[in-house]
């Protein structure tokens, strides 16, 4: 109830009944992207060998290495779980497409955001666009916060 608008930044925006993994399969990713196979707890990580080129190419090697070594795991099953409630259907929506993203295809990002009726901003950069171009991302967030 207190959410006035949404901002997606190089992120999935599934519709009701969709799972992120199903959306991503529509546009094949490059070889630069890659997750590990689930461990015994079902957790996955972005592959260390592909982390810089596939996730954080805009950042220095030092920043990327730090992020890789400190990344939190993702529950692998989250890519298969379907969405039940879709906030972008009832809230103003803004989105940032990272045009050089290799973790989620920019084509996929664009398609989801268009479908959501989002006000779309395209920024040159990789998946961590919020770190490599924080001022531009913050500008989108502020526009969403101030929207009526």
Instruction: Assign 3-class secondary structure to 79-96.
Output: HCCCCCCCHHHCCCEEEE
Exposed (0-12), middle (13-18) or buried (19+): which is 146, by Cβ within 10 Å?
A: exposed
pLDDT at 50 over 80: yes
Mean pLDDT of the chain: 93
Q: Cα–Cα distance between 109 and 98 in angstroms, integer?
A: 8
Cα end-to-end span (Å), the chain: 15
Summarised one tens digit per residue, pLDDT across range 63-110 is 999 999 999 999 999 989 999 999 999 999 999 999 999 999 999 999
Region of 90 please: left (phi>0), alpha (psi -120 to 50) or beta.
alpha
**Mean pLDDT value of segment 7-35:** 85
Which residues have C-beta within 8 Å of that of residue 133, sequence separation ≥ 6? 58, 123, 124, 125
Pairing mode, if any, of strands 43-44 and 74-75? antiparallel
Residue that has been written with the tokens 């992020």 in this structure: 67
pLDDT at 23: 82
**pLDDT of amino acid 1:** 63
Please state the pTM of the whole predicted model. Answer: 0.91
Query: Do 97 and 107 meet the contact criterion of CB atoms below 8 Å apart?
Result: no
């Amino acid at each position: 109830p207190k959410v006035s608008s949404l901002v997606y930044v190089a992120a999935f925006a599934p519709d009701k009944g969709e799972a992120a993994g199903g959306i991503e399969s529509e546009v094949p990713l490059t070889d630069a992207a890659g997750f590990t196979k689930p461990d015994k707890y079902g957790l996955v990580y972005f592959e260390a060998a592909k982390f810089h080129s596939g996730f954080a190419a805009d950042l220095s090697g030092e920043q990327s290495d730090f992020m890789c070594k400190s990344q939190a795991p993702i529950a692998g099953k989250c890519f298969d779980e379907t969405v039940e409630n879709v906030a972008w259907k009832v809230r103003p929506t803004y989105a940032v497409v990272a045009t050089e993203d290799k973790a989620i295809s920019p084509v996929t990002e664009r398609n989801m955001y268009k479908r959501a009726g989002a006000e779309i901003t395209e920024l040159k950069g990789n998946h961590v666009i919020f770190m490599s171009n924080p001022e531009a991302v913050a500008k989108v967030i502020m526009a969403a916060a101030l929207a009526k």
